[in-house]
Amino acid sequence: MAGSKLPMRGHLRYSSSFLGQIFANCAIYVIILLKGVDKVLKKGNMLEDPLATPKLLVSSQEADWDELALFAYHEPRKLEGWIDPATLDSSLVLIRRGGVHLEEKPTGGPWEVHNLYEGEWLLKPGELQSRELRWHSLSREPLHMLYIYLRPTLLTRTAQEMAKGDPARLTLIGHAGFQDPLLTQIGLALWHELEQPAPAKLYAQTAAQMLAVHLLHHYTSHPGNLQEETQGLNSQQLKHIRDFILAHLSQDLSLETLAQQVGFSAYHFARVFRQATGESPHQFVLGQRIEHAKKLLRETDMPLTLVALESGFASQSHLNQAFKRRLNLTPRSYRYDQSIRAHF
């Protein structure tokens, strides 16, 4: 990813007071390095919790997603002295399971207190100072938290498009302890996507645009300044997009590339494409890839691995997963069972 890397929870630091607490505890620690994330494993008990450090559940680090990063953790029930480094990336935190009493303070500032419960969000705009965090669980349930980071370039570009070229008119405002069904739907869908064999970049780009637009509409200082572009896709543009997608199914299609074919911004294209087709760009491309794979399965003896690659899937397992989700059957069953093919 070009530019500065998005923040990872594994790169956060402990304060000196917390480090003293660690070394004062009579326990055995084993330090390992796993995919760039420092983790501490130990025997004994720290902070009266068997889980001493965050346990990574899912990560977008290997997915090559632009302008958006997602991490989910099983968090310790109690933690102190955790340093959240300064970043310009705006963050969204969802309490996926459990509840937490969270206290945070900027360097030299007062403590800010939040009680967050399952299904609630914490929105934090980017800032140029680090924060110290401490928390304890409010529930007997395991504490699972989902973190989404949005690059400032995404929000600035979207604001320029929505506020007539003046993104300064829109300032993201922090919120805590709120529920937002759309944010939750997008966040959990991204989590689910990362659990698939090949998380789709186009899916993440579309979701990032939806997140940016939603945040600017509902969590900024002057949402009334926003104006939606009204121009849609005409039939000629829609045909051109469809032809382009069919001609490039085996390639890694991006939202920006598709938008450029008709001279639209990525944000505007994603919105009007759904209006014109009833599907997101990702859903449409996936459907066309499945249709192309079905054609190859019917008309050729091409090995399944090549069918997958020719149709734009990352691997045979990716093809299998897409078939099962869309058609509830395997590519092999579709190829060899004519009675099944008759229904599809």
Domains in the chain: boundaries:
9-217, 228-278, 284-341
Query: What is the pLDDT, as a whole number, of residue 224?
Result: 58
Distance CA 165, CA 228 (A): 13
Query: What is the pLDDT, as a whole number, of residue 245?
Result: 96
- Higher per-residue confidence, 199 vs 303: 303
286 pLDDT above the threshold of 90: yes
Q: How many helices (H) and strands (E) does the chain have?
A: 12, 13
Q: What is the mean pLDDT of residues 55-63?
A: 95
- The tokens 């009680």 sit on which residue? 115
Distance CA 5, CA 37 (A): 14
Distance CA 344, CA 327 (A): 8
Tell me if domain 9-217 and domain 284-341 are identical in fold: no
Reported as a single tens digit per residue, the pLDDT across 132-173 is 999 999 999 999 999 999 999 999 888 888 766 566 667 899
Q: What is each CA distance from 311 to 36, 120, 295, 322, 338, in whole angstroms?
A: 33, 40, 10, 11, 21
pLDDT band at 26 (very low <50, low <70, confident <90, very high): very low
Query: What is the pLDDT, as a whole number, of residue 47?
Result: 40
Query: What is the pLDDT, as a whole number, of residue 223?
Result: 63
- List the Cα angle 9/10/16 in 5-degree steps: 95
**Residue 231 DSSP code:** -
pLDDT band at 110 (very low <50, low <70, confident <90, very high): very high
Query: What is the pLDDT, as a whole number, of residue 188?
Result: 97
Its CATH architecture, for the domain 9-217, is: Sandwich (2.60)
The mean pLDDT value of the chain amounts to 84
Q: What is the mean pLDDT of residues 97-101?
A: 98
Give this prediction's pTM: 0.75
Q: Which of 13-22, 56-65, 295-304 is the least confident region?
A: 13-22
Its CATH architecture, for the domain 284-341, is: Orthogonal Bundle (1.10)
